[in-house]
Structure 1
Amino acid sequence: MASAGKPRKILMIVENLPSPFDRRVWQEATTLRDAGYEVSIICPTGKGYEKHFEVVEDIYIYRHELPLEAEGAKGYLLEYSAALFHEFRLAFKVLFSRGFDAIHACNPPDLIFLVGGFFKLFFGKKFLFDHHDINPELYEAKFGRRDFFYKLMVLFERWTFKTASVSIATNESYKRIAIERGGMDPAKVHVVRSGPKLDRLRTVPPVPALKQGRLFLIGYVGVMGKQEGIDYLLRAMAYIVKERKRTDIQLGLVGGGTSLDEMQAYAQELGIAEYVTFTGRVPDQQLLEMLNTADVCVNPDVANEMNDKSTMNKIMEYMALAKPIVQFDLTEGRFSAQDASLYARRNDEVDMAEKILTLLADPALRKTMGDYGQRRVMNELEWKYEAPKLLAAYDALFASSAQQQLSAPQPAKEAARSD
């Protein structure tokens, strides 16, 4: 971890969320700091995180503006081009002020390898890739096709893995992609799951007002995007209200995203707007109040290649707060929740609605499932179990550097001469 008595310095780059709002990145950063690394982060600004520079808990944060939250090919091109410009600019700023020994790149997008590869080639810095999203599948989920741009995503992904000395996968599905599609040496791929920190996900008193005078509250926290399945959830709610004639249930949705306005309009179109609360992006306290008040929590992620292989933070956050869950039957979602969840048929909103009603009708089952999920987080999935795996990946990252130095050819000693 140290070189000649000096702490290693890490530069983390994340493009899609500000720090410390991005929970996985912040957990990684504070874990590295606690282990003696010096950490800097480059990230975008965001609501509540407008300062371009600040030091938070001894972590140096450099933020930059982004032109917009992308929608469509032109929007993504503009966003990613601006992000790369600022990432290069701020990386040089960090290099010549605080310095860094390694770049820790968090996708999406899979373009940060351009920054990592540049500093690896010209300045000898290490490059670690932290695989948060499988971008080819994300593109397919958003646009429904495997065209030229999908193939370009696959190419960027492979170049990212080729550039990385070590990569981190959030689950075994991502590890297989790194090895099979990315061509990564299995020994250089480390699984570090996104376990929650229980000191943040604390129990707070319920807020009855969030139920809007109704008996039950269904809770959701996450992004409002196309692949998150909020439309399925709203149709499930419409079935509950209109077909099952249940007017005693409120749905609370916490989170922002490109589809927030569209989903609010869709709730109006379905005639259920009064039964749905959209909070937008809110501070942790309001998020915790919603989840602690909820009787059941939901994960309506659409059944597709991306979501089937991805571990969703919200599932483990629900479990940490002892909330029973309803979700579609997806591989990694089932691995995380196990008996803490009921599993609806894939992309079947009516079955999701019926599973929700099953739980609301059975308080004992809700408690059994909630207690199971909380125990699983406390005993297996909490971040404290993943932190050593992150540090092991860093040991491997810098060990590979030392091995390369040792294996480099040494100049031959000049033969001794005698006169």
Structure 2
Amino acid sequence: MWEMGKRVLIIIENLPAPFERRVWQQAKALRDAGYIVSMISPKGKGFTKWHEVIDGIHIYRHPLPVEASDIPAYLFEYPWALAWQFILSVWIYFFGPGFSVIHGCDPPDLVFLVACVFKLVGVKYIFDHRDLSPELYVVKFGKRGFWHRMLLLAERLSYKTADVVIATNESYREIGIKRNKFDPDKIFIVRSGPSAGFGEGVKPKENFYPGRKVVGYVGVIGQQEGLNLLVEAVDHLVNRLGRREAFFIIMGEGPALKNVIAHAREKGLLDEYMKFTGYVPTEELIATLTSCYMCVNPDHVNPFSDRSTMTKVVEYMALGKPIVMFETTEGRFSAQDSALYARPNDPVDMAEKIAYLFDHPEEAMEMGKRGKERFEKYLKWEASVPSLLAAYKRVFEV
């Protein structure tokens, strides 16, 4: 049997390791600090092995039968994933590297059910609060009711089980303190963002849409990401303001992609003013964003997006790109004066802000420089590592 000590099991359910960047960054930082790290994740995104060791980190994967998009599918997916997480945790504890801390990442807020069992034998639990499931439910389904109450309960029980909590920003920390009555001294902010040097060495593309001002977007294309609002903004920019030099490259995929493409086609914008690439490999994505004049974040403003830090905004800043976005609490905290802020969910105002940056290239360049400087000082991943390690130091003191 292994000796108790700096042994960690990280459990994620929504994406495979090492594809899930934030969790993989955490795993490597813990490894570098002397921890023995194991991970449990689903299979997917080309990662299909049940067990492998990457960069000294043990990864155990389980199948997911469906990609849930509605409540019945979630009711099948979550118990399935929990069962596998428990089985693999038992295997790792008794026959693998072992662990004295479980680091559970949402969504969903259910890893506490696995942690509860192991807390009986002295294992500590760190809850990594990365998603506001109750708020997201209201955004996706447009109602509260029974399932919303169940999500609030799962969040509350996750906090009640936790010895220490990791929050992605100050808004999430506030929810931990006010909504879940958790000890403020046991909540540590660990932000999401690319590592230092993100995009360095990648050159802009030659002859990149000459004569056009290219605006870039990267991210998931779902209902809450607001791409239909972006289509309306492009329509106003091109057809009302006459900015025929505009061209928008939309990189990413998701459940709303077909709907957004149809909307752009209906407005007469597809191909001539908007291009949808689908999934793009990281190097190509960075090269494309580097070549863009500016970037945009049209996330629909709601209680979820207002409190969430959008990684794409930090990536734009890392690449030195000026940004136009709808104003949110955490969006403004991240970008500060490297962005122009349109009125919430107002595509006309977004179009006018984009046109302003088209007309003021020197100001746009200065905004991009300020964003890159802020990223390098405060928002790069390395700036969050001390807080992560402080959370682990604290959990062994509890």
Distance 2:334 2:311 in 1: 10
Indicate the residue corresponding to 1:277 in structure 2: 275
Indicate the residue corresponding to 2:112 in structure 1: 113
Deviation of 1:235 (Å): 1.5
Distance 1:278 1:30 in 2: 33
Q: Residues 344-370 of structure 1, C-alpha deviation per residue, up to 9 Å, x if partnerless?
A: 000001111111111122210111000
SS at match of 1:137: helix
| 8 Å Cα contact 1:203-1:288 kept in structure 2 | no
Deviation of 1:376 (Å): 0.7
Indicate the residue corresponding to 2:293 in structure 1: 295
| 8 Å Cα contact 1:195-1:386 kept in structure 2 | no
- Given candidates 183, 187, 190, the residue that maps to 2:188 is 190
Deviation of 1:208 (Å): 4.5
- Given candidates 154, 159, 162, the residue that maps to 1:161 is 159
Indicate the residue corresponding to 2:67 in structure 1: 69
Deviation of 1:81 (Å): 2.3
Q: Residues 233-259 of structure 1, C-alpha deviation per residue, up to 9 Å, x if partnerless?
A: 122122222223333222112222222
Distance 2:180 2:266 in 1: 43
**1:105-254 matched pairs, under 5 angstroms:** 105-121=104-120, 123-208=121-206, 211=209, 215-254=212-251
1:89 aligns with 2:91: no
Q: Residues 193-248 of structure 1, C-alpha deviation per residue, up to 9 Å, x if partnerless?
A: 2232123443511224664x651211111111111111111221222222233332
Per mean C-alpha deviation after superposition, the further-off stretch among 357-366 and 236-245 is 236-245
- 2:183 aligned partner, one-letter code: D
- 2:168 aligned partner, one-letter code: T
Distance 2:50 2:357 in 1: 46
| 8 Å Cα contact 2:7-2:35 kept in structure 1 | yes
Deviation of 1:176 (Å): 0.9
- 1:70 aligned partner, one-letter code: A
Deviation of 1:188 (Å): 1.0
Deviation of 1:332 (Å): 0.7
The normalised TM-score by structure 2 is: 0.94
| 8 Å Cα contact 2:19-2:45 kept in structure 1 | no
Distance 2:206 2:235 in 1: 23
- Where does structure 1 differ by over 3 angstroms across 4 or more consecutive aligned residues? 208-211
| 8 Å Cα contact 1:221-1:254 kept in structure 2 | yes
- Given candidates 258, 262, 268, the residue that maps to 1:261 is 258
SS at match of 2:295: strand
Distance 2:207 2:283 in 1: 15
Q: Residues 373-392 of structure 1, C-alpha deviation per residue, up to 9 Å, x if partnerless?
A: 11111122222221011000
Per mean C-alpha deviation after superposition, the further-off stretch among 235-244 and 321-330 is 235-244
Indicate the residue corresponding to 1:405 in structure 2: none
Structure 1 unaligned residues grouped into runs of 5+: 401-419
CA RMSD of aligned residues (A): 1.8
Indicate the residue corresponding to 2:303 in structure 1: 305
**Count of matched residue pairs:** 395
Structure 2 unaligned residues grouped into runs of 5+: none
| 8 Å Cα contact 1:201-1:317 kept in structure 2 | no
Per mean C-alpha deviation after superposition, the further-off stretch among 83-92 and 175-184 is 83-92
Deviation of 1:60 (Å): 1.5
Indicate the percent of aligned positions where both proteins have the same amino acid.
48
Distance 1:204 1:310 in 2: 29
Deviation of 1:7 (Å): 5.3
Q: Residues 143-164 of structure 1, C-alpha deviation per residue, up to 9 Å, x if partnerless?
A: 1112111111111100000000
1:279–1:59 distance in 2 versus 1, CA, 3 Å: farther
Distance 2:241 2:288 in 1: 24
Q: Residues 123-143 of structure 1, C-alpha deviation per residue, up to 9 Å, x if partnerless?
A: 321110011011111111111
Distance 1:94 1:282 in 2: 35
Distance 1:269 1:19 in 2: 39
The normalised TM-score by structure 1 is: 0.90
- 1:341 aligned partner, one-letter code: A
SS at match of 1:371: helix
SS at match of 1:297: strand
Distance 1:201 1:93 in 2: 39
Q: Residues 51-84 of structure 1, C-alpha deviation per residue, up to 9 Å, x if partnerless?
A: 3332221111222222232211112222222221
1:146–1:353 distance in 2 versus 1, CA, 3 Å: same
Deviation of 1:110 (Å): 0.7
Indicate the residue corresponding to 2:320 in structure 1: 322
| 8 Å Cα contact 2:243-2:355 kept in structure 1 | no
Deviation of 1:296 (Å): 0.9
SS at match of 1:127: strand
Larger radius of gyration: 1
Indicate the residue corresponding to 2:350 in structure 1: 352
